[in-house]
Structure 1
Amino acid sequence: MSTRMLPAVVAIVLGALLAIALFVPYVARQYRRRGELGIGNAALALAGLVYSLGLVAYVLLPLPAMGPDFCAVYGTSAPQWTPFNFLTDMEKEAIGTGIAATLRNPALTQVLLNVALFLPLGMFVRYMFQRSVLATTAIGLGVSLLIELTQVTGIWFLYPCAYRLFDVDDLMANGLGALLGALAAPVLRAVPGQRLDTDPGQPRPVTRSRRLLAMVCDLMAYQFTAVVFGTAANVGLLAVHGDLISGDIGPLPELAGYAEVTAVAPWVPWLLLAVVVPLVGKAPSLGQRIVRLQATRSDGRPAGPVMRMVRSLFGVGGYVFLTQLDTALSAGGMLGTVATCYGLASLIALFPTAGHRGLSYVFTGLRLTDSRAVDRAEVLS
C-alpha cells in the first residue's frame, strides 16, 4: 500500500469502528438535542469523524522505523521559519512559463494541498459547532500549530528527533484553508435529511424506521455491554490469580473459577438491559427510551413496570435470552434458530401491524407512543 493511501485507509477503518462504538450514545444525544436522528446529520457526523481521523493519520503516518542512524537520516532538515518561503521554492522548482506550468509547480501544489486539507475542518467547525468565522479560523490555526509542534518534536519526543519538517508556510496555508472553509460552510445546508430548526420537545410519529432504530440500539447495547462486562470479568479473574503486569499467570481457561465466570458473565448484561431497565425506566427497553418511545395501555396511561418487563421479554430481550440459552445448554443451535425465526417474524410484523407495534406489543396488548406526548398528557391532566 502506498504511503499516500495509508492515512486514508486507516481513517476509514478506524472511523467505521468508532462509529459502531459511538452509535448508541450518538443517537441518544441527537434525540435529546434535535428530537430525532436525521440521516443528514448522521452523515455529516460520520464524515467529520473520518476527516478528523484522517487528519491525525496524515500527521503521524507512516511511522518510520527507529534505528541507530535515525537522526542522521531524518534529523537533517531545520525548521522553516520564513513566511512565504514557498515563493522562493517556486522559483527554484519552476519548469517552463505560463499558468499551466505555474499550477504544476511542486512548491505551489504543496501549498494548495495544505489549504485544501483544512477546508473541511473550517466547514465542519463553522456549521456543526456554530462558531463564528473568526473563531473557526483561530481553531484551524490552533490545530495546525499543534500538528506542526507534533512534527517538530518527533511526536512529542517519542522519536529522538523530528522526522517531518516544521514549516511556517504550512501553518499559514492551513489557516487560510480553515478561513475559506468557514466561509463555505453554508454549503453543508444542502445535505439532505437535516432539520435545522426543530423543537426537540415536539412529539414525532412512530415510524418503521424509528422502531428499527430502537431495535438496532438494543442489539448494539447488548453487544457492547457484554463485551465490556466480559472483559472486566476476565481482567478481574486474572487479577485474583496473579500479577497482571508480569503476565506470569497462565492461560485463562486453566484458571480456577474460569468456568463459573464464563457461565455467569453473559447473563449479567441480559438481566441489566432486559429486566432492570424496563422495571426502573418508563420504556420497555433502552433502545426505545433512546428514541423516546414509551409503552402505554389502551386508555393511554403509561404501562406499569411488570408489563414493560413482559414486553421486553417478548422483544429483543427474549431474542437474546434464547441465543444465550442455546449456548449455555449446548443445544446445537436449535434455540438459536428459534430466536432467529422469531426475530425475523418480529421484524416483518413491524410493517402490517397498526402503529408499527410488532409482535411484542401485539402479544402484550400494549401500544407504542412518543414519550413526549405522554409527558404532555400527564402535565395537562
Structure 2
Amino acid sequence: MASYIEPIRFALIVFPFLALAISAIFFIYEYRKYGTFLLTRAVILYSFVFYLLCAYFLVILPLPTKEAVAQMTGPKMELHLFASWENFRANTVLVLSDPSTYLPAMRQSVFLEPLFNVFLLLPFGIYLRYYFRLSFVKTVFASFCLSLFFELTQLTGLYFIYPRPYRLFDVNDLLTNTFGGMLGYLVTPIFTFMLPTRARMDEVSYEKGKTVSLTRRLVAYLIDWFFLSICSSIIGLVAGLSFGSSEFTSYSWWLFVQVFLYFMILPFLTNGRTLGKKIVRIKLVEDGRERIRFRALFIRYAYLYFLFYGLGWLSQLVGPVINQATGVTQMSAVFIFLCTLVAQFIFGLNLFLSFIRKKRVLFYEKASHTYTISTIKDRKA
C-alpha cells in the first residue's frame, strides 16, 4: 500500500506548481473559445489533470537507482493473457461457501493488484463521458491507449533512462485498465448527476462571453505586454550584437514608441485588434463608425499611457531639481512633484474603483468615444 501512497503524496506537492502553469494555458483557451472562465469548468479540468498526474506517478514511482535496475534479472514482459486470473485462483484463500474468508481474500495482493488496475482508469472513463462527451467505443479505445502508454513507459525503463524495465509489462494490466475505463463510462451518471452538464456549461460560457468583463480586458492587456516584452528583448539583443549597445530599450521614450506602434498604429490597421484582444476575442470600436479612427486611438491611449507614464516621467525630472535648487525654484519643483503624485493616485484610484464596481466604461473611453466589444457570436444550431 505504501507504494501507492507515495505517488499521491508526491503529486500533492508537484500539482500546485503544475496547475499554475496549466491554469495560464486553460485561462487563455477558455477566453479564446468562450470569452469567459467558469469556476466549475476550472475545477473539473484541474481535477482531471490532478488525476492523470497521480495515475502517472502510480505507474513510475518509486524510482529505483540505475545500479539496482542493472542487477535485475527477472522477466520484462508478461504476455500470458488472464495470468492474473489464474494467479488469483491458485493463491487466493477465498472460499465462496465460507464468509470468514472474504475479508482475508480481499487483503491479498492477488486480489488487490487487479482491483487497483481497474480503479486506475475508472475515473478516466467518467471524465471522458461526462466532460469530453466521448462515445462508449471511443472511451474504450482511449482507455486502452492510455493503458498502453503506461505499459510502454514501464517496458522502456522510463523512456530508456534505465538500462532495462524495472516494472513488468503485463498484457493483463492492459485488460484490467481498459475494463476500468469501460466501467467508469457505465457508472458516470452515478457520480455526475448533481453536476451541470457540459452542454449547460458551454451555454453559460457563451452567454457570459457576449459581455466584455474588466477581467477579460486585463487578460488581453497582460498578453499584449508579455508579447511586447519579448519583442523588446529580441530588439535589444539584435541591437546589442549589431551596434554594441541596447540601452535604448530601458529609456522612457522607448515605452512611448511601443505604445504608439502597438496600441495606436496596429489597431488602426487591424480595426481595433491587438494580439491580446485577438486571443480573448474582443476588439475596439468607435461610436458611430464602422472603422476606428487613428484620432480616437490616439486620444484613448494618450490618456491611458502617456498621461500616467508621462506624469511619472515628469516626477523623475523634477526630483533632482528638488535636491539641487533653492528658493522659488525648489518650491515650484516640490509643487509639481506633489501634483504629479496626486494625479497618478487619482488615475490609479479611478481604475481600481472601476474594477471594484465592475464599471465597464472607463474615463479614457469616454474621452475617446471608444469602447470594447466581444467578437464571440452565437453558436449555430
TM-score above 0.5, yes or no = yes
Q: Which residue of 2 aligns with 1:101?
A: 104
Q: Is the 8 A contact 1:7 1:58 kept in 2?
A: no
Task: Tell me the amino acid that sits aligned with residue 141 of structure 1.
Answer: F
The reply on whether 1:257 has 2:245 as its aligned counterpart is: yes
Amino acid at match of 1:304: R
- What is the aligned counterpart of 2:127 among 105, 119, 124? 124
- 8 Å CA contact 2:128, 2:185 repeated in 1: yes
Paired with 2:362 and 2:172, the residues of 1 have a C-alpha distance of: 60
Which secondary structure state, in structure 1, belongs to the residue aligned with residue 34 of structure 2? helix
Q: Deviations over 1:65-119 (max 9, x none)?
A: 333x5310x4534322233333425764759943333333333223232222212
Q: CA deviation at 1:5?
A: 1.5
Seen in structure 2, the aligned counterparts of structure 1 residues 105 and 348 have a Cα distance that, compared at 3 Å, is farther
Q: Distance in 2 between matches of 1:39 and 1:122?
A: 22
TM-aligned CA deviation for residue 235 of structure 1: 7.4
Q: Is the 8 A contact 1:126 1:185 kept in 2?
A: yes
TM-superposed deviation, 1:148? 0.4
Query: Could you tell me which residue of structure 2 aligns to residue 71 of structure 1?
Result: 70
Amino acid at match of 2:366: V
Question: Which residue of 2 is the match for residue 153 of structure 1?
Answer: 156
Mark the runs of 5 or more structure 2 residues left unpaired by the alignment: 321-337
Partner of 2:195: 191
| 1:5 corresponds to which of 3, 9, 15 | 9
Equivalent position of 2:352 in the other structure? 347
- Looking at structure 2, the residues matched to 6 and 156 of structure 1 have their Cα atoms a distance apart, in angstroms, of 20
Q: Which amino acid aligns with 1:218?
A: Y
Q: Which residue of 1 aligns with 2:171?
A: 168
2:293 matched residue in structure 1? 304
Check 1:348–1:318 CA distance in 2 against 1; reply closer, same or farther (3 A cut): farther
Match of 1:179 in 2: 182
Q: Out of 281, 301, 313, which is 2:270 matched to? A: 281
Q: Within the alignment, does 1:19 sit opposite 2:23 as a pair?
A: yes
Distance 2:92 2:311 in 1: 66
State the one-letter code of the partner of 1:360: Y
With over 3 angstroms needed to count, the CA separation of the structure-2 counterparts of 1:357 and 1:296, relative to structure 1, is same
- Partner Cα separation in structure 2 for residue 343 and residue 361 of structure 1: 15
Equivalenced residue count is: 345
Q: Which moved more, 1:120-129 or 1:198-207?
A: 198-207
Distance in 2 between residues matched to 1:193 and 1:337, nearest whole Å? 51
Distance 1:56 1:221, change over 3 A: farther
Query: Is 2:49 aligned against 1:49?
Result: yes
Change (3 A) 1:318 1:263: closer
Distance in 1 between residues matched to 2:341 and 2:228, nearest whole Å: 18
Identity within the alignment, %: 19
User: RMSD of the alignment, in Å?
Assistant: 4.6
Determine the C-alpha separation between the residues in 1 that align with 2:30 and 2:79. Answer: 42
Q: Is contact 2:210–2:374 with CA below 8 Å preserved after alignment? A: yes
Query: Which of structures 1 and 2 has the larger relative contact order (alpha carbons within 8 angstroms, sep 6+)?
Result: 2
Q: Secondary structure at the match of 1:83?
A: coil
Once the two structures are superposed, residues 321-378 of structure 1 have per-residue CA deviations (whole angstroms, 9 ceiling, x without a partner) of 679979x99x89x99998787445313224558x6212332333334444468xxxxx
Q: Secondary structure at the match of 2:77?
A: coil
Q: Is the 8 A contact 1:222 1:269 kept in 2?
A: no
Match 1:83 to one of 70, 81, 84: 81
| 1:219 pairs with 2:217 | no
**TM-score for the superposition, normalised by structure 2:** 0.69
Displacement of 1:134 after TM fit? 0.8
User: In 1, distance between residues paired with 2:103 and 2:306?
Assistant: 67
Find the aligned partners of 1:91 and 1:318 in 2 and give their Cα distance.
Answer: 81
Where does structure 1 lack aligned partners over 5 or more consecutive residues?
A: 242-254, 374-381
Residue of structure 1 equivalent to 2:370: 366
The 1:339/1:18 distance shift into structure 2, 3 A limit, reads farther
Mapped partners of 2:342, 2:110: distance in 1: 63
- Per the alignment, do residues 117 and 277 of structure 1 end up closer, same or farther by CA in structure 2, a change over 3 Å counting? farther
- Give the counterpart letter for 2:82 in structure 1: F
More helix per residue: 2
- State the one-letter code of the partner of 2:65: A
| Separation in 2, partners of 1:213, 1:173 | 45
- How far apart, CA to CA, are the structure 2 residues paired with 1:143 and 1:188? 22
* Aligned residues of 1:7 and 1:61 also touching (Cα < 8 A): no
Question: 2:131, 2:258 → 1: CA distance?
Answer: 35
Partners of 1:143 and 1:134 in 2: how far apart? 14
CA–CA distance in 2 between the matches of 1:181 and 1:314?
A: 56
